Structure 1
Amino acid sequence: MQPNLMINDAEWDKLISDVAFYFEDLTLKRGFQYYKQKRVKSLRMISSRRIMAVVEGREDYAVSLELDHLTESHCDCPVQGPCKHMAAVLMNVAESQERSVNMLANAKAVIDRKKTEVLEASAAAGVSGSRREQAQKLAGLIPGATVAQWREYMALLTAPMAQSVRNPQYSGRALSAIMEVQADLAPAAALLFQLNAHLFILESLIQPLPPNHAGTLSSSSYSLGYYTSIAVSELKEAVTRLMKSGLPLASEPEEWPRVRETLDYVQLEMLTESRDRLREQPYFSFCYDRLWNHWIAPNTSGSELYLEELDALRERASGLGAAANRSALLLAESRMYFYLNDDKAAWERLAAASERPGLHPDELMGFLPPLAEAGHWSRLAAWLEATGPLLNSRLYNLQGYAAYWEDAVRHLPEAEPQMWNTLSGMLPLSQDIYEEKLLAAGKWREWMDYQLAAGKEPSDFRVSDLQPVEKNAPELLLPFYHQAAERFVLEKNRHSYKAAVKLLKRLAKLYKKMKREARWEEFLDAFTARHSRLRALQEELRKGKLIP
């Protein structure tokens, strides 16, 4: 290292602050590992504030650091924005200046501690003025704050509502209080602030009492009330609308640290939320899905970020121990393999995650929209085939799943056999959409065979339900009606005789339509003779004008 680089105390404090804002905590920890493993090579000065180095990773990566403007730094690795290679070089710089490498590796904790001290001092002194004046003072801190600090401000601003009933009105008031302090932020930063505000309120709805508060209900036993559930549903809809606009990270790459900090928070909540009740998709699993699908994946090229998230998930789950939900972990891993185009690995984890308590159907369906939107029809068909058997909830409407099959087959006709095999393999759960598609495709014989195999009776259908078959393949209904009429006769009561006669009259129309009246007369004569001792049946046949 050239001796002309000197970092004074003020510059060191600024560097700690910049690193805390620009780097994700997990990235710093991995950079520290690279530093300890001495992976930084060829460190040299280009100018008094610019440093170049080579860092050994999966391959050798060239790093260029601008100490005064970290956002202008660069690394050749696939990660967009700050990475572990850059962090490792910074720690080598700290060592050369005889500064605390540990302080740099824990920059976020250092800055958070300082910010907490300032807030505590402010609270101890008593912030003068109304809450609006206090909010205006806090607004000036928001543009340079971390996500963790944003959450501190949100907690301070919503504190007066701590004892409020958790309902949609509470959500609206809390969101208004938080947005009141929103400073002049660039588009991406503003979207991230709004998302974190919604996440903050979502957490307050799901866990309305502090973790150590006496009487707090555990996540496994806490059940949301009716109005709280409405508020949560409205928040989820708001999050969906917010994320659909996309996140302009290409023009604001300096927001990647906040994206990663938001992801880190959502990841933790997702891995620890309860899955005992799966009548709706777990809340933070929903947010994790949307965050990757709408904001992170569209701004990511290459595989590095997905591989890092796999490492982060496993490291977080290992640290959580028994508190980590296995199904949530496997689902998150499958999502990363999905983005890596390793579908086999993704399906293996989804199958394991679907074991009890399992996954909500919406979590499985979440893999399909990106494929349909991208027009990847062959891959969509493969995913439909893999996920269909895992949709095992009878409470779930499969019409959306069926619609994806229609899109896939319309664009890729050769995928139709996959569809039929999958739907038949999902019976009886897929019964409604299977029958509907058989009729729509004009597969009359297959439809009829299924009804006979399932033990269905003509009385299970409305007349209008059977009209398409009567019109297009009336001969298929003959055994259906014949068998049902014979079963009614065997019951030997007046009501069943009347039902048998109704079916016989429908049979007469079918034979006439097929121009096989002679065959009908032959059958009716044999039927009447065979049951000649059943006087009540004979009476019903006469009333129906089937016999004289």
Structure 2
Amino acid sequence: MRLDEKLQAALEQQLGNHVSGTIIKRGWSYYKGGYVQNAKETVHHTLTGIVRGTDLYAVVMDAEHFGYSTCTCPFNDYCKHMVAVYFQYYAEVGGGEAAAERSYFRMLGLVPASEVAKREEPAPDQTGIQIFPGKEGTALEWLGWMEKEYGESWKKCRHSLHALQPVLSSLKGLSKDWEPPQRRLHWATAIMFVLEQAELAINTVDSFSRYYHEMSFLRMAEPWVEHLNTLAGELDPLDMGDGEQAWSDDLVERMRQRALDTDRQLFEWGNMYLAFCEKLSVDPNWHQRELESLLAELDKAPEGERNESFLHAAIGMLYFVKGEDEKSIHSFSQGAFERIQKLIYPCVAQRMEAKQWDLVDRWMSFLYECVYQNRNARNIGPFMALCRRADEDRPELPTWFSYMTELLPYSYSELSEHWLSLQRYEDWADLQMFIGVKAEEIDAAAAREVAKGAPQVLLPLYHQSVDSAIASRNRQGYRLAVKQLKKLEKLYKSMKETAKWESYLLELVTKNQRLRALQEELWKGKIIT
């Protein structure tokens, strides 16, 4: 048995992230010294081994959940024995000592000795990009170097992105010992490069298989995109030096150009761009420069095609961050709602959180017009969630009720759930009658809740259901009528209205006395005796 490529790469990355350079070097020495007696993969993606040290130590490493990894040695942390076992395993299944050595250097963020001389020379190539940029390199120089070193990695991704995980781990390892602000930007650059490689890979897939490959690629890349957004959130624009500022500007520019491209893309580059913008806009000077750049882009006569919806959305977001809501709404209104609506909802939620109800009213009016023109189940859900929240916070305003009811029948499910959550049972029952929902179609849990809180509102629904079932003039309908009558009887009794129930039943039986089959079912169901 052996770990699959993805889990093996993940285990190497976890060791590199959690084990200090000193411990990694000691683990390498133990491996080279032959102290590892065995290393193998067992069930449930677990790597086990025995290492001879002062005593014999048993190592267990969980490739899927690294935090559960243990060693029987006295060291109270991830230890050299774990590292040694990993190198032994890698050497046995991955190509011998040379492969283990490459893993060792990746963990340390170093260049293998065989390549040091080549990479330490600052000689630029024909484009002026240094072979190995180092800590003084810029974002563009690093991207150029990554392209030269790993630019064909995408060719190994015919069916999955497994081949890109060790590339990302190796690139991150190069800046492992840098200061956090600079390391953060370098890691963001590495993730961007790997995502670009993934997009090159997906473009080689035939159209018949593309959808399935896209779903697979997106799932595998999800942690990378999430990490990139996390790195954006950790930026401190007010404390950046000139070099860091220039680096972040280059990254933002590259993401913006990606987002403007109308070619079919695998990832939402616009969302990644806006994650950086939201953080960097804390610096008013940067915010103004970026807004001016976007406006200048908008004024240009487009050369070829560009994503106009993204451009309007980006301008709208920057206006929103600045507090210019009317300009923001105007910019959003210029784009295709289907493509940018995900960006608008958080803006409204933020204004609700701040209790800025005048602005909320303006945003909701704009949203309602857009949703009504493009109403479908996908668009209704997020807007209804905002309406429900607004109705809970400001129930005295009739606007939210108006929006929710005017979007019927698309809003039925959300509105029905909303009335139940607020215990507005009469409104809930009126909604069922209006939509034409039959009593037998109502969710059992909802029916029990209403029967307990306001049983009287259910009476018209069950009366209607009984009449409809009898009108079917067949045995199945009659049996349904009996079932609903039993529920009606319970409701009347819970309301202590036994006399009304008996009067209703007498009238029903008398009215339908010629329907012998119905009379038989009533007798079988013990409704009448």
- Report how many residues are paired: 405
Asked whether the equivalents of residues 385 and 418 of structure 1 are also in contact (C-alpha less than 8 Å), the reply is no
SS in structure 2 of the partner of residue 143 of structure 1: coil
SS in structure 2 of the partner of residue 163 of structure 1: helix
Question: CA offset at residue 314 of structure 1?
Answer: 1.0
SS in structure 1 of the partner of residue 281 of structure 2: helix
Which one of the candidate residues 145, 149, 152 is aligned to 1:153? 145
Question: CA offset at residue 543 of structure 1?
Answer: 1.7
Cα-to-partner distance string for 1:256-315 (whole Å, 9 max, x where unaligned): 22222222111111011446x9xxx9520221221112x212333696335414324315
SS in structure 1 of the partner of residue 282 of structure 2: helix
SS in structure 2 of the partner of residue 298 of structure 1: coil
CA distance in 2: counterparts of 1:349 and 1:173, whole angstroms: 42
- One-letter amino acid of the counterpart of residue 165, structure 1: C
Question: CA offset at residue 384 of structure 1?
Answer: 5.1
Asked whether the equivalents of residues 312 and 332 of structure 2 are also in contact (C-alpha less than 8 Å), the reply is yes
Q: Could you tell me which residue of structure 1 aligns to residue 103 of structure 2?
A: none
Asked whether the equivalents of residues 385 and 419 of structure 1 are also in contact (C-alpha less than 8 Å), the reply is no
Per the alignment, do residues 439 and 139 of structure 1 end up closer, same or farther by CA in structure 2, a change over 3 Å counting?
farther
SS in structure 2 of the partner of residue 526 of structure 1: helix
Q: Which one is further off, 415-424 or 130-139?
A: 130-139
SS in structure 2 of the partner of residue 169 of structure 1: coil
Q: Answer yes or no: is 1:471 the counterpart of 2:452.
A: yes
Question: How well do the aligned residues superpose, as a CA RMSD in angstroms?
Answer: 3.6
Q: Which one is further off, 179-188 or 251-260?
A: 179-188
CA distance in 2: counterparts of 1:530 and 1:245, whole angstroms: 75
Cα-to-partner distance string for 1:449-507 (whole Å, 9 max, x where unaligned): 11111111111123321122222222211111111111111111111111111111211
Structure 1 residue runs of 5 or longer lacking an equivalent are 1-126
Cα-to-partner distance string for 1:360-418 (whole Å, 9 max, x where unaligned): 653333435655676756645654554465385635794x76666666666x5367644
Q: Answer yes or no: is 1:481 the counterpart of 2:481.
A: no
Q: Could you tell me which residue of structure 2 aligns to residue 287 of structure 1?
A: 272
CA distance in 2: counterparts of 1:147 and 1:231, whole angstroms: 25
Superposition map of 1:36-435 within 5 A: 130-131=114-115, 134=118, 141-159=133-151, 161-165=153-157, 167-182=160-175, 185-208=178-201, 224-274=213-263, 282-293=267-278, 295-300=279-284, 304-305=288-289, 307-315=291-299, 318-321=301-304, 323-355=305-337, 358-359=338-339, 361-368=341-348, 371=351, 379=359, 382-383=362-363, 386-387=366-367, 390=371, 392=375, 394-395=377-378, 398=381, 412-413=393-394, 417-435=398-416
- One-letter amino acid of the counterpart of residue 344, structure 1: E
Q: Could you tell me which residue of structure 1 aligns to residue 475 of structure 2?
A: 494
Structure 2 residue runs of 5 or longer lacking an equivalent are 1-110, 122-129
User: Once the two structures are aligned, what percentage of the paired residues are identical?
Assistant: 23
SS in structure 1 of the partner of residue 377 of structure 2: coil
SS in structure 1 of the partner of residue 162 of structure 2: helix
Question: CA offset at residue 154 of structure 1?
Answer: 1.2
CA distance in 1: counterparts of 2:119 and 2:172, whole angstroms: 10
- One-letter amino acid of the counterpart of residue 476, structure 1: V
Asked whether the equivalents of residues 361 and 393 of structure 1 are also in contact (C-alpha less than 8 Å), the reply is no
CA distance in 2: counterparts of 1:254 and 1:360, whole angstroms: 33
SS in structure 2 of the partner of residue 337 of structure 1: helix
Q: Which one is further off, 301-310 or 460-469?
A: 301-310
CA distance in 2: counterparts of 1:522 and 1:495, whole angstroms: 25
Asked whether the equivalents of residues 140 and 183 of structure 1 are also in contact (C-alpha less than 8 Å), the reply is no
Asked whether the equivalents of residues 488 and 496 of structure 1 are also in contact (C-alpha less than 8 Å), the reply is yes
Question: CA offset at residue 140 of structure 1?
Answer: 6.4
SS in structure 1 of the partner of residue 148 of structure 2: helix
Per the alignment, do residues 266 and 236 of structure 1 end up closer, same or farther by CA in structure 2, a change over 3 Å counting?
same
Using the size of structure 2 for normalisation, the TM-score is: 0.66
Per the alignment, do residues 381 and 200 of structure 1 end up closer, same or farther by CA in structure 2, a change over 3 Å counting?
farther
- One-letter amino acid of the counterpart of residue 144, structure 2: E
CA distance in 2: counterparts of 1:461 and 1:383, whole angstroms: 34
CA distance in 1: counterparts of 2:118 and 2:399, whole angstroms: 62
CA distance in 1: counterparts of 2:189 and 2:352, whole angstroms: 29
CA distance in 2: counterparts of 1:198 and 1:240, whole angstroms: 10
Asked whether the equivalents of residues 249 and 255 of structure 1 are also in contact (C-alpha less than 8 Å), the reply is no
Cα-to-partner distance string for 1:141-194 (whole Å, 9 max, x where unaligned): 343333222210111221463521163422312212322433864433322221
Asked whether the equivalents of residues 352 and 360 of structure 2 are also in contact (C-alpha less than 8 Å), the reply is yes
Per the alignment, do residues 289 and 369 of structure 1 end up closer, same or farther by CA in structure 2, a change over 3 Å counting?
farther
Per the alignment, do residues 309 and 381 of structure 1 end up closer, same or farther by CA in structure 2, a change over 3 Å counting?
farther
Question: CA offset at residue 424 of structure 1?
Answer: 3.0
Asked whether the equivalents of residues 119 and 132 of structure 2 are also in contact (C-alpha less than 8 Å), the reply is no
Which one of the candidate residues 476, 481, 503 is aligned to 1:522? 503
CA distance in 1: counterparts of 2:296 and 2:240, whole angstroms: 27
CA distance in 1: counterparts of 2:154 and 2:419, whole angstroms: 56
CA distance in 1: counterparts of 2:188 and 2:459, whole angstroms: 62
- One-letter amino acid of the counterpart of residue 259, structure 2: M
Using the size of structure 1 for normalisation, the TM-score is: 0.64
